Chain A
Amino acid sequence: MKRVIVWLRHHRAAAYVPLCAVALSLTTVSARGAEKPPIRIGVLASESGTAASAGHDMVTAWKLYWAEHGDTVDGRKIQFTFYDTGSDPARALTVARQAVEQDHVQMIVGPYLANEGLAVAPYAIEHKVPFLEPTVSADDLTQRKANKYVIRVAGWTSSQATHPAGAWAYDKGYRTVVTIADAYAFGYENVGGFNQTFTDKGGKVLKQIWTPLGNTDYSPYLSQIEAAKPDVVFVEMVGSDAVNFLKQWHAFGLKGKIPLIANETTTDQSNTRTLPPDVVEGIISFGHFAEGRSAPATQEFDTNFAGKTGKLPSYMAAAFFTAAQWIGDALLKVHANVEDTDAFLAAVRSVRLADSPFGPLQLDAYNNPIENVYVRRIEMVTGPLAAYGKTWNVVLKTYPNVSQFWNIPPQQYLKQPVYSTTFQGLKTP
């Protein structure tokens, strides 16, 4: 019994610590007098699990913006809390609940993966919390499931950058394609976008290959590709899949033999920074970000990010940096009065960035940015940034102001289903 009492005493003492902390913080708040409470932003990032490295890039870039520009808007401090989604949609939902119900955040920024975003969106909508997505690219979130609370600040849809790719490939003289991509929604949507515009012009899809995520051996697929003798190959890969694919594409001697067009993630800096230059140099890809773009906004971001982390930024980093800028601008427009959700949402929708690391950005009527799509080529890094990376994506050609619907009227576009294994936007002859 004695021991219990002793333990309880200790325990009680421990219980006073948070109490004291609360009391202290209360006094500091009242000491500040009329100052408004901080703006609470919940940042969902995948800091553990399969997408952990992307999560780190996102968090670093997000902090970088506020460190550069100050975390106070119109006299009101911005307080952001980071939540780890563990790269798992069910967990993303749990931390979204924590953010909204426990920490009462006034907006959610993130998460990273499409399936996480799709899981959290209905929850955010139900609780009327602005859900701002810099990287979640699942087409439907700003198409068939568009909602006023869901806005892709500095974001993109999966097929947005591959629509131009299909048209470009046809105009380049290619008539037949084999596609190879990860067997999940992001892959289906990337390839679907390419196929739709490619076949629309008269191109032909010889073969479509879907490979499981986390695949390490691409040799059987590569021999299938070689046997099909296509004019061009279109590839979508993420993470380690991209690294493995590019290595084997080079090792099998296909690089330089069959023309290759990659989607944005395949040659993203996060993948190519680990690969030797001869494996990746010269590869053409399509994306809404190009770290080698010569415009000052991109170069300045590159320099600051590299100075902070010692490496060149991925598109995820650029997205969270630009999202911070976007949200900062919107907050300024409403004089930091984030409590009026409708006014804040309207402000977010009205933001126009004349130039950002991505280039000019503004939203369409469905809350997805109208943005540049770059035809990119991997080249050796030149200039002062060469100290931070070997190769990067430079801009060959710019498609300005590309919409998620490409050149198809939205109503007409939305009549077709979202891209999947069964719908690839193929024009049947």
Chain B
Amino acid sequence: MSRPWRNAIVIGILLVLAIAVPRLGLPAFYVSLLTQTWIYGILAMSLDLLVGFTGLVSFMQAAFFGIGAYVVAIGATRYHFVDFWPTLLAAILIAGLVAAAFGALALRSEDEGFIIITLALNEIIWGLAYQWVSMSGGDNGITGFLRVNVGPFHTTDNSGFYYLSLAALIVCLTLLVLMVRSPFGLVLVGARERPRRMAALGYNVWLFRYLALIIAGMFAAVAGVLFAYYNEFVGPGSLSLDTTVQVLIMVILGGTGTLIGPLLGAGILVFLSNALSDITQRWVLILGAVYVVTVMYAPDGIVGLVNRLMAKARSRRELSLAAGAAVGGAFHSGEGPK
């Protein structure tokens, strides 16, 4: 079987599984953890567009996530702005505008300078959410708004919200995959690897990075909107430095520049933190150890690790093929005849 076919089948199976999950009698709590995974997955993928493809380690992705969430909460509680689509659109637009402003500032520097500036910009948004009490509710955050039904999705129902998040994830993933495979995406990667050569070829490297920052901010806002509806609560924690770092860990844990890796990372973080905190109060410590081990032994993330193992298996198979041994099927490649 050729590779694209195999991929299509794998994707198909995963999709059917994801759709079937709430109907398989999975306890409601795990359905809600999966919902969280889809939402954080969108956020992590948006960051991967920057970290993995554009080569920009941005520490302000939580700000756009939070902006999306606060647009929902403030819109609904202060301006009676409750319809889903206009809210989503407003959130994307506002996040895009803020990203345009922040991007213009942050892209004046590179590398460490970029990291520090994005960190500071994220803190500004956090500070606003924390201290502009009359607007944001300060530390208490905002409650008192409800999920709204979207088209066929009855979101008040847990599985309805699950499907809404899944649909959003699929749309975002598709758009991002198309984008990174388009000429635009290739320029981003080119600009990451050889910025001077790309510039010499006539590409405005700065502009491409700038656009990537804005687009990533918009995707983060989509995740933020879902997060606000999911919790029916928004607080400054959603755009804190903690969140930024957590998302970065999801990306690194899963594997940068893969899109699917950060989604995997999101799932691992959501499930692991819940499973561990059930077992021990010292779960944060264990989580930290997991990160260290990952960075030491799988610096290119889980997807990278899997790819490496598969490549190793493939080369072993090719060796045995060359030796004239039996033919192994694609799925038996890891267990080639000995």
Q: Which A residues fall within an 8 A CB radius of B?
A: 1-4, 47-48, 83-84, 86, 88-90, 93-95, 97-98, 101-102, 114-115, 118-119, 121-123, 138, 145, 183-186, 188, 213, 420-422
Contact = CB atoms under 8 A, between A and B. Distances in A.
The B interface, classified by DSSP as helix, strand, loop or mixed, is: helix
Given A90-B237, A98-B29, A84 B283 contact: yes
Contacts of A185: 133, 138-140
A94 B332 CA distance: 40
Nearest to A423: B134
Given A48-B281, A89-B233, A93-B233, 14 more contacts: A48-B284, A88-B237, A90-B237, A94-B33, A95-B277, A101-B27, A101-B28, A102-B29, A114-B139, A114-B140, A118-B140, A186-B139, A188-B133, A420-B134
Contacts of A98: 29, 274
Contacts of A102: 27-30
A269 B158 CA distance: 43
B274 A184 contact: no
Interface string B219-248: 000000000000111010110000000000
Given A118-B143, A119-B141, A183 B131 contact: yes
B214 to A, nearest CB: 26
B233 A122 contact: yes
Contacts of B256: none
Contacts of A89: 141, 233, 235, 237
Given A93-B233, A115-B235, A420-B134, A121 B28 contact: no
Given A1-B332, A93-B231, A121 B143 contact: yes
Interface of B: 27-30, 32-33, 36, 130-131, 133-134, 138-141, 143-144, 158, 231-233, 235, 237-238, 274, 277, 281-284, 332, 335
Contact of B232 (A84, A114, A123, A184): A123
Contacts of B274: 94, 98
Nearest to A48: B284
Contacts of B140: 114-115, 118, 138, 184-185
Contacts, number: 91
9 contacts: A90-B235, A93-B233, A94-B33, A118-B141, A185-B133, A185-B138, A185-B139, A213-B139, A421-B134
Contacts of A90: 231, 233, 235, 237-238
Given A420-B133, A421-B133, A184 B32 contact: no
Nearest to A140: B140
A422 B133 contact: yes
A420 B134 CA distance: 8
A337 B138 CA distance: 40
A101 B32 contact: yes
Contacts of A122: 143-144, 232-233
A90 B274 CA distance: 13
A145 B282 CA distance: 35
Nearest to A98: B29
Q: Which of B158, B232, B233 has the most CB of A within 10 A?
A: B233
Closest 7 CB pairs of A and B: A102-B29, A184-B139, A101-B28, A119-B233, A185-B140, A101-B29, A47-B281
A318 B308 CA distance: 56
A4 B29 contact: no
Contacts of B281: 47-48, 84
A93 B233 CA distance: 9
Contacts of B231: 90, 93, 119
Contacts of B235: 89-90, 115, 119
A292 to B, nearest CB: 31
Q: Which of B131, B133, B140, B332 has the most CB of A within 10 A?
A: B140
Contacts of B283: 48, 84
A315 B274 CA distance: 29
A84 B277 contact: yes
A103 to B, nearest CB: 8
A48 to B, nearest CB: 5
Contacts of B143: 118-119, 121-122
Nearest to A422: B134
